[in-house]
Structure 1
């Protein structure tokens, strides 16, 4: 991401040296690792992680591999954790995944599965009745250069509006952690936000809020489907521990299948886990509403990732990047075949 390249590139350079060393020392027979650290966000769009951890599905699938977890509030922090080896795999938004691929020149990570599509949009105050009313107001996104940030900036550019990374222009766009966005809207500090679930539903629950842009409406080329969460793994871990990665994917597929087979129970399980992570109490009705806005699937919806990268390039937040090779879907498709599911495709078909 061009807006803050130095830390990522420094870590990526160190990573390249580390990969050269580990490439010769990997386990040729694919013996299981001793441990795996998984990163994810306290968002409904990361429900496969919430459910997989809370119900012990991922832990059970990994067997003797010890599972530990770490949560993040934004994509760049999670990507840096993958770069540094702090986490081995992570659930990420598409733009942070692309940024990590770009900054490490394809060395740091690979996308090994999808996790969720949809579940995002622009919620605004009732005084903003149409898109034409947006200029002159202040809006929040989770992180500069993150997935929802790119979506809002691209949308603004499509309307012919100027915005900058310092909060100026026709729209003022400021980065905030998702929980802070809910409070900022309630206090009148912002006029709206492009955010993921469950924070979207939390803001919509305010008396003076409504959904102005439902993001699926902006994706006619993919029938309203666009990836919001991917599962990535560090290249080093994938090369050294293929069995552990396959077991992680077995747990991930099982978690997504369980969510889709038990949506009400999955919403409650996710709410319980979110409360444990945040110390808050998410309204059960809001959790259910948030779940209805998200589609959970291991399909990474590869065409949408390409479009999202092109949008980030067009607004100046990403250098041109070749995404060929970013997907490593063979392990997932092996697991899907075992489970009797259809295979999924990357950019190469």
Structure 2
């Protein structure tokens, strides 16, 4: 992986071509130009033929013959021109992509992306088809969604809330979730003198970004405890909120791993809320793998390679020895972000996260409702959001 431009999580690279991107390796490339979808043919048009009466004479017979000719032409056209479903299938038959632009975060909950990149799992699979890989680093989901919607990236690892919001606001046209990556690993870490939810009244709290998965979780938790108007929530980057917590400028933060463990291990914070305690069986999605809908339609072979690499990285994370896993995650974070975390922090963080391909789609409607209840995103349905065929092919 080309690491020509690295910056800390809280900063951005001045040469970055997209304002939301924190790090983009390699030289700038022109955006791929995707062909316009094929025009749809309406095969429902009907031609009416009236019977020629005695008064119509030869002219009536000519009209009848013309009608028969039109029907014949329409039949030929129907045979030769594909219908809408065939047009979409043809649009999908574009072969592997020239390049895959993939976004992810320097978080432990994105370890499948980090391991896949550092070990060359995805890059190796894409090279078989002549497809290049351009990784891009983000701080939080809304920024990644902005890049995905603008075409700056083709796929991303991110939290489910921004993906759900994008899907609903675009009426299902923006993206699809093709796999899960991680569940668990998010907590509200606070100062020691905050012992119960009522102590949050009058506090200053933080999340990685407004509208992100942890931001929605914190605001919904405050609303459920009738504290939404009594606490201040300020979105800040993970790196910045860590510094703010260390200086005592904020009282707590709802953050993913390894930042939750970092606040506990290095800054004397404690977990007031482990988000797993709020979900049935303790399962909730922290990171999912999404692909732009147009890219998925046009390059399913490339998406399949992406899901394959994700599966292999998850398998490695779940089978490697603890010490080997900690070392690999530290190296991957350092390569992606220019810095890493101490062994005790990574070790504690790994205990909080489960890596799995299951996107936990049963939780999505609840997440949509939570976001709508606190005024982030629109109400709607998650039906059709998950494209499970790629995961199914891995299982076979």
Q: Which of the five TM-score ranges fits, normalised by the shorter chain?
A: 0.7 to 0.9
Q: Which residue of 1 aligns with 2:14?
A: none
Q: Which residue of 1 aligns with 2:262?
A: 202
Q: Using the TM superposition, name which of 60-69 and 174-183 deviates more.
A: 60-69
The secondary structure found in structure 1 opposite 2:309 is helix
Q: Which residue of 1 aligns with 2:153?
A: 87
For residues 255-276 of structure 1, give each alpha carbon's deviation from its aligned partner in whole angstroms, at most 9, with x where no partner exists. 1111101152233212112112
Alignment partner of 1:313 is 2:366: no
Greater relative contact order (Cα 8 A, min sep 6): structure 1 or 2?
A: 1
For residues 11-66 of structure 1, give each alpha carbon's deviation from its aligned partner in whole angstroms, at most 9, with x where no partner exists. xxxxxxx9892466965545212211110011000000000000111112222211
CA contact 1:22–1:236 (8 Å) conserved in 2: no
Going from structure 1 to structure 2, the CA distance change for 1:20 and 1:36 (only over 3 Å counts) comes to: closer
Q: Which residue of 2 aligns with 1:44?
A: 108
- Following the alignment from structure 1 to structure 2, what is the Cα–Cα distance between the partners of residues 60 and 237? 20
Q: 1:231 aligns with which of 259, 269, 289?
A: 289
Where do 4+ consecutive residues of structure 1 move more than 6 Å?
none
- Following the alignment from structure 2 to structure 1, what is the Cα–Cα distance between the partners of residues 248 and 341? 21
Q: 1:304 aligns with which of 363, 366, 376?
A: 363
- Following the alignment from structure 2 to structure 1, what is the Cα–Cα distance between the partners of residues 309 and 267? 40
Query: Could you list the runs of 5+ residues in structure 1 that have no partner in the other structure?
Result: 1-17, 164-168, 338-349
- TM-score (norm: length of structure 1): 0.86
Matches within 5 A, 1:33-112: 33-62=97-126, 63=128, 64-112=130-178
- Following the alignment from structure 1 to structure 2, what is the Cα–Cα distance between the partners of residues 251 and 270? 16
Number of equivalent positions: 312
Query: Could you list the runs of 5+ residues in structure 2 that have no partner in the other structure?
Result: 1-32, 39-86
RMSD over aligned CA atoms reads 1.7
Q: Which has the larger radius of gyration?
A: 2
CA contact 1:115–1:299 (8 Å) conserved in 2: yes
Q: Which residue of 2 aligns with 1:336?
A: 395
Matches within 5 A, 1:247-286: 247-264=305-322, 265-286=324-345
CA drift of 1:78 comes to: 0.4
Q: Which residue of 2 aligns with 1:323?
A: 382
CA drift of 1:176 comes to: 0.4
Q: Using the TM superposition, name which of 277-286 and 44-53 deviates more.
A: 277-286
- TM-score (norm: length of structure 2): 0.76
CA drift of 1:281 comes to: 3.5
